[in-house]
């Protein structure tokens, strides 16, 4: 029997044939245009050799018998090279130890030509940052004692770069040795954090009580500080649950210099007079948020309660804003998420810990901030004029009317207590399912 092929089948076969023909043509063209490894452009690898010297306070750092900072090049060091904003791959290494040396090495992933200006930098490439210091001189030497030099390319002969003259390296920071004491009794202090503020920048040094002071000696902290001229500085130190401070005006730190300094610090003692004032990220207290900003630090919370017997913390501060996420689009949370969110509140404060307030915390803050006329029908059914007015006066975000805020106080297995703010002058205690989503305002133990 003769098989009949429909017109649809004929057209489909023609289409398949056309695709196969195109595929063969494409394959043929592709095979004829493959670029072999021999045809690919080779990456240019440059060689650079340049004499180099250092100023009086660059790596490697050590304290001499005369109490001065000793410096020299070490063959184990690496110097990195940048053209404009691009860092070259590779590095230069000192060929000898000493105060002067020849730097030599290979560079790639950058195009270099005559008259280009190259920046040489150690101990590492990238933007200069002083975050993460631990107060130990060897850590500064390895990671924070930046020095830079600029050289102009005289010629590039094949792959060989020649420069106009040697590289003169200059330090990008001063090195300061702080010996920290209590002004009241001249006793040595051993802080776990030291914060240096020059009015425009704030630098935090996190100190390991064992390794830092075992290496340096008790109460001694080394810090790399970018130089400045005639600025007012504030130091704050966290010792246990206490904060000590020191201020000095018209201070100059010159890049490349070494400064051994003894600072006698005064313990900050929070009192009820500080209620309604700001605690900042450096642990110090300011009149309001603007005053903290002017001092070069960041306002974190409003002091709302001072404990009579601060065995572990002096008191409570309330966050200046509600917690949110997703760029502010999410502003309410379940009870479990509220606990997590409050504990991760920012900005962090060197002398405190954020958390979700208890029912008792809210009572204490309302009581601590109360003014004449504030009273209570029950502990959490009261007028709160003082609390609300103080929060707004220090430039904090007020509590919204008709809004509920979580406490971390449970009410059985499925419920937890919350504070309902019925107006800007009164509130009451309620209980809701832990799965409901309510507002979160963190408190700081400080």
- Cis before 392 (ω within 30): no
Structure tokens at 40: 């690919």
**What single-letter DSSP state applies at residue 73?**
B
355, 445 contact by CB (below 8 A)? yes
pLDDT of residue 63: 58
**Which residue, 27, 431, 216, 332, is CA-closest to 205?**
216
DSSP for 272-284 reads: GGGTTSEEETTS-
Say which range, 44-53, 177-186, 213-222, 399-408, has the weakest mean pLDDT. 399-408
- Peptide linkage before 123 cis (omega within 30 of 0): yes
What is the greatest pairwise CA distance in the chain?
117
Where is pLDDT greater, at 105 or 1? 105
Burial string for 47-72 (b: 16+ CB within 10 Å, else e) reads ebebebebeebbbbbeeeeeeebebb
pLDDT tens, residue by residue, 56-87: 544 455 655 555 566 688 899 999 999 999 99
* Nearest-angstrom CA–CA distance, 267 and 241: 11
Closest by CA position to 349, among listed 189, 131, 235, 195: 195
Write out pLDDT tens, residues 294-346: 888 999 999 999 987 766 678 999 999 999 988 878 899 999 999 999 999 99
Helix 385-393 to helix 359-369 angle, to the nearest 10 degrees?
80
pLDDT at 434 over 70: yes
Give CA–CA dist 95/43, Å, rounded: 26
Lowest mean pLDDT among 190-199, 219-228, 421-430: 421-430
Q: Which of 99-108, 179-188, 272-281, 396-405 has the lowest mean pLDDT?
A: 396-405
């Amino acid at each position: 029997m003769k098989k009949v092929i429909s017109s649809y089948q004929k057209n489909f076969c023609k289409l398949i044939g056309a695709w196969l023909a195109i595929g063969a043509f494409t394959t043929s063209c592709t095979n004829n245009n493959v670029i072999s490894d021999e045809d690919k452009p080779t990456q240019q690898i440059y060689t650079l050799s340049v004499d180099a010297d250092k100023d009086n306070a660059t790596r490697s750092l050590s304290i001499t018998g005369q109490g001065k900072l000793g410096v020299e090049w070490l063959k184990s060091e690496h110097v990195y090279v940048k053209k404009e904003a691009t860092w070259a791959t590779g590095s230069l290494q000192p060929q000898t130890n000493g105060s002067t040396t020849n730097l030599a090495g290979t560079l790639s992933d950058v195009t270099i030509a005559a008259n280009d200006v190259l920046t040489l930098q150690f101990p590492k490439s990238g933007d200069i940052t002083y975050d993460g210091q631990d107060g130990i001189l060897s850590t500064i030497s390895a990671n924070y004692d930046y020095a830079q030099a600029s050289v102009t390319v005289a010629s590039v002969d094949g792959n060989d770069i020649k420069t106009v003259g040697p590289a003169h390296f200059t330090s990008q920071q001063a090195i300061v040795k702080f010996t920290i004491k209590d002004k009241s009794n001249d006793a040595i202090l051993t802080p776990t954090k030291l914060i240096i503020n020059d009015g425009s920048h704030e630098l935090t040094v996190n100190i390991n009580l064992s390794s830092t002071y075992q290496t340096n000696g008790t109460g001694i902290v080394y810090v790399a500080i970018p130089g400045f001229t005639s600025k007012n500085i504030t130091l704050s130190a966290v010792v246990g649950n206490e904060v000590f401070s020191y201020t000095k005006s018209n201070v100059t730190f010159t890049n490349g210099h070494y400064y051994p300094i003894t600072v006698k610090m005064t313990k900050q003692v929070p009192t009820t007079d500080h209620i309604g004032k700001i605690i900042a990220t450096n642990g110090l207290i300011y009149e309001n948020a603007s005053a903290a900003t002017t001092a070069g630090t960041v306002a974190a919370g409003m002091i709302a309660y001072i404990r009579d017997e601060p065995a572990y913390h002096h008191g409570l501060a309330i966050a200046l804003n509600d917690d949110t996420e997703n760029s502010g689009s999410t502003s309410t949370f379940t009870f479990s998420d509220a606990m997590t969110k409050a504990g991760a509140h920012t900005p962090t404060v060197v002398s405190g810990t954020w958390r979700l307030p208890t029912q008792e915390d809210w009572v204490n803050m309302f009581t601590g901030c109360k003014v004449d006329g504030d009273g209570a029908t029950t502990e959490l059914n009261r007028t709160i004029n003082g609390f609300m007015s103080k929060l707004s006066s220090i430039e904090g975000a007020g509590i919204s009317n008709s809004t509920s805020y979580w406490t971390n106080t449970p009410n059985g297995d499925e419920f937890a207590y919350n504070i309902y703010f019925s107006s800007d002058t009164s509130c009451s205690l309620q209980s809701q399912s832990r799965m409901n989503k309510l507002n979160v305002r963190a408190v700081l133990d400080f």
